[in-house]
Amino acid sequence: MIATGLGEGPAARRVPPPPAATSIVLDCDTGIDDSMAIALGAGSGARFVACTTTHGNVPAATAGRNTVTVLDALGLTDVPVHVGAHRPMAQDLLTAEWVHGQDGLGDAGVAQSSRPVSGDLAPAEIVRLARQHPGELTLVAVGPLTNLGLALLMAPDLPGLVRNVVVMGGAVNTAGNASAVGEANVWHDPEAAQLVVGAAWDLTVVGLEITMRTAMPTVAIARIEASTDPRAQLVARVFQHYLGVYEPIVGERTCVLHDPLAMALALEPDLASYRLVRAGIELRGELSRGQVVADTRGFEPDPTDPTEPGVVRFVDTLDVERFHAMFLDALGA
């Protein structure tokens, strides 16, 4: 099945996919679907250079502990984890334990790793790694964008040092999930999101307009639950709580795959087709703060340069079956 994301505007013009990631720094707020994204990456041979964590689903320190726990459970015991921003730039901290469980991993009793995480300086680590591997890193961000925003403030040359950026965030021309029009990762820190959208890098944004089309068939859920593969068993444990959250939304005991889709597109960008669109984040609207406003009117010539500040590559269409197959394959399910 081919799902439509942004939708064909009157002057819809597709652009090539972003480059496939070879080395990833994952910025996350782990989080049930963050865990599923790590599992997808691990099972697809992704090379994780480091993970950095932010506030969002849970406090940043909890996200750090969860990230190291998931990495270790998947055998990625040598991937360093750095905790970063503990709160947004210009609003109060809000977390979402009702979606992810009190422990952020679905309250499934997953034993925490005791491996140390580095404290508090994730944005500096992102900059350091980008300087160490110029032109090589793909930043995959699946939580609020505070760490990336801070890294941009610290190092204005950061956009020229990374290969590309893939963000899960936003809701273009569709309902939000944190407010009527705001998606959680953008809504949790709109100022940081605007810094990321306004930077001169190759930015792909994977929003609710496409991730809400990725609900797994119930037979796929059953395959994950029945699998003896340790990756599938980890996901089957942590996603029970998430299935309960999504059941009334989707109408079946299943869930959508927000963060796993961003990881999949970082690794296999040709799962989707794309459009380049000018976009910005609403920062002042009383009802619309944190909305991604994308100019899909088609009156103006479409942009052609993905590195133009304010230009975003959005998903136009997605091969959902191929994405689900990739996810199941990565889990050994």
Chain center to CA of 18:
15
Contacting range for Ca ion; rule: CB under 5 A; set: 4-12, 19-27, 251-259, 273-281: 251-259
Pick from 3, 6, 29, 314: which binds ligand RIB (CB under 6 A)? 29
Residue 267's binding partner out of ligand RIB, Ca ion, none, with CB under 5 to 8 Å set by partner kind: none
Q: Work out whether 207 is an interface residue with Ca ion (CB under 5 A).
A: no
* HSE-CB of 274 using CA atoms within 13 angstroms: 26
Binding mask 232-271 for ligand RIB (x = CB under 6 A): --------------------------xx------------
Beta carbons of 11 and 304 less than 8 angstroms apart: no
The residue of the chain with the least Cβ separation from ligand RIB equals 184
Quote the CA–CA distance of 265 and 320 in Å, as a whole number: 12
Least Å distance, CB 194 to ligand RIB, is 17
Q: Work out whether 72 is an interface residue with Ca ion (CB under 5 A).
A: no
Pick from 9, 18, 31, 84: which binds Ca ion (CB under 5 A)? 31
CA 305, 317, 10, 296 dihedral sign is negative
Least Å distance, CB 278 to ligand RIB, is 22
Instruction: Please list every residue from 164 through 223 that binds ligand RIB, using CB under 6 A.
Output: 168, 177, 183-185
Q: Work out whether 143 is an interface residue with Ca ion (CB under 5 A).
A: yes
Least Å distance, CB 185 to ligand RIB, is 5
Q: Which amino acid is present at 330?
A: A
